[in-house]
Structure 1
């Protein structure tokens, strides 16, 4: 074999090796809080008002009644909030806020479910059969979720979805139906303070409180779920979620019982969340999945 052919053969083998590694990596899902480009690669529709968003919803026949009836939702991602939701009539503001946030919550939960599924699949195989990529992937999850025991059962206790109704209720309560300064300017809907690890933030007047800020609603929602799943103050939430799941009773209304530590309002906070979930039927969306329509991306130029 000539030198040129030998070099070509080596180069081809090297390319195959690299592509095999890349393929192995792509088969293992990322936790949503680590996804830097979460949205479909489609043209972004720029909007400048809450009313223009409502018009988009109407154009694409995106109505909550249809979502509840069919348990299907369009892949309609709203990247950030308009600054004039309060300009809408009350019922339209309520429906509009739920519709703009709902696909993001479902998408984040689907990413969590994909990671959880692969962890469970891996746990059923002998460790001797795990690839190096799988071993590193799982160890990174253990580190990220602060699993000191290094056991998969402890990881699965934390690595799980947050019911849609609970996320919606907290987003509504903490952001004032998407109208707070921190929600509009920083995509922070859930009242989270700046992490000790740093990151983007907005300050209250005088700079006494630093509130976490995010690039988009997906990132803010993913980080909120990650914080619930990794902060030891929410051990009661993990245990209650596991119990409710085993009984087939997991819902936002039931799980918010474990959130008395989330707010200084304590039990009054829990009662308010439950009232929101019940009054607006926020637990109606737990089984909703995306339909096969073309993805839509909307961004506000506030």
Structure 2
């Protein structure tokens, strides 16, 4: 059977939706982990599109250009829920620029949520546990369980709960999804090659069920799950230790951190070398300092038949 026919016959299997624990909402001031957020987008202005060309035109007409972001370090809150099915039909320069632009605000939004949690943990570390409120104690306990940390100590939480540099996220999204053109990316919003987790969830499978790849409701949840995987799984302990070291040296960039990803792919060092080449060639680390402008959020969604 041809690859196209195999992909055409892929099935999307969906498990019942699991809602976040009510305990997570006891105190509005305590930030929820990004992977627990069920509705990440504030749909102030909703734009339903049918093609990648329409998205590129919308970006251009609104002055959302990568050169402008680099010069101003200001990033518009243009959130894209899912991928168009025709990115590959664009000229190469438009496809590459368009993919980076559609994913950048979501990466920033997930990382900013993680930084909120880190700030709150740092605040709690300045006072004895006996002075924590009941809600604060439960919040820390919930984080410890979510990140598989038995000690419950804040220093250990801070090692696990930290950002993934923009350049690294973009490079892995590019490599794993083929610039947003793979079937798993289009049908399941899976940009990072994540397999079905042990606790289940949505997934895509090939005929016979030999391959089960995680599927997500939107690009935010995909990105949040990928970061949570890196921040939790034992295989990425080296990444977390290197990130801590780089942060202390003020050298935390995607180009530096990807050297710890040899276990992410069976390609090993070749995978790392390719990620570094992508970061360098497309200047993906140039967006680390960009800040989201949340004053005028816009929400884009594609209505084509490939949406999961």
- TM-score of the two chains, using structure 2 as the length reference: 0.90
Partner residue, 1:259: 261
CA distance in 2, matches of 1:100, 1:221: 13
1:190 pairs with 2:187: no
Question: Residue 26 of structure 1: SS of its match in structure 2?
Answer: coil
1:205 positional shift: 3.8
CA distance in 1, matches of 2:25, 2:233: 33
1:162 pairs with 2:164: yes
The aligned runs of 1:234-245 (5 Å cut-off) are: 234-245=236-247
The aligned runs of 1:125-274 (5 Å cut-off) are: 125-274=127-276
1:206 positional shift: 3.2
Partner residue, 1:70: 72
Partner residue, 1:117: 119
Change in CA separation of 1:293 and 1:130 when aligned onto 2, cut-off 3 Å: closer
Question: Residue 106 of structure 1: SS of its match in structure 2?
Answer: helix
1:149 positional shift: 2.0
Partner residue, 1:98: 100
Preserved contact between residue 195 and residue 212 of structure 2 (Cα < 8 Å): yes
The aligned runs of 1:26-41 (5 Å cut-off) are: 26-41=28-43
Preserved contact between residue 189 and residue 215 of structure 2 (Cα < 8 Å): yes
Preserved contact between residue 45 and residue 297 of structure 2 (Cα < 8 Å): no
Question: Residue 199 of structure 2: SS of its match in structure 1?
Answer: coil
Partner residue, 1:81: 83
Question: Residue 195 of structure 2: SS of its match in structure 1?
Answer: coil
1:23 positional shift: 9.0
Preserved contact between residue 24 and residue 32 of structure 2 (Cα < 8 Å): no
Picking from 48, 51, 66, the partner of 1:49 is 51
More helix by share: 1
Give a deviation string over 1:75-127, Cα, whole Å, max 9, x none. 10000000000010000000000000000000000000001110110111111
Question: Residue 192 of structure 2: SS of its match in structure 1?
Answer: coil
1:150 positional shift: 2.1
Please list every run of 5 or more consecutive structure 1 residues that lacks an aligned counterpart in the other structure. Answer: 1-20
Higher-Rg structure is 1
- TM-score of the two chains, using structure 1 as the length reference: 0.91
Partner residue, 1:60: 62
Partner residue, 1:14: none
CA distance in 2, matches of 1:134, 1:58: 44
CA distance in 2, matches of 1:209, 1:23: 36
When structure 1 is superposed on structure 2, of 287-296 and 127-136 the one drifting more is: 287-296
Please list every run of 5 or more consecutive structure 2 residues that lacks an aligned counterpart in the other structure. Answer: 1-22
Moved over 4 A (4+): 21-24
CA distance in 1, matches of 2:228, 2:285: 21
CA distance in 1, matches of 2:121, 2:26: 15
Preserved contact between residue 190 and residue 216 of structure 2 (Cα < 8 Å): yes
Give a deviation string over 1:143-172, Cα, whole Å, max 9, x none. 111111221111111100000000000000
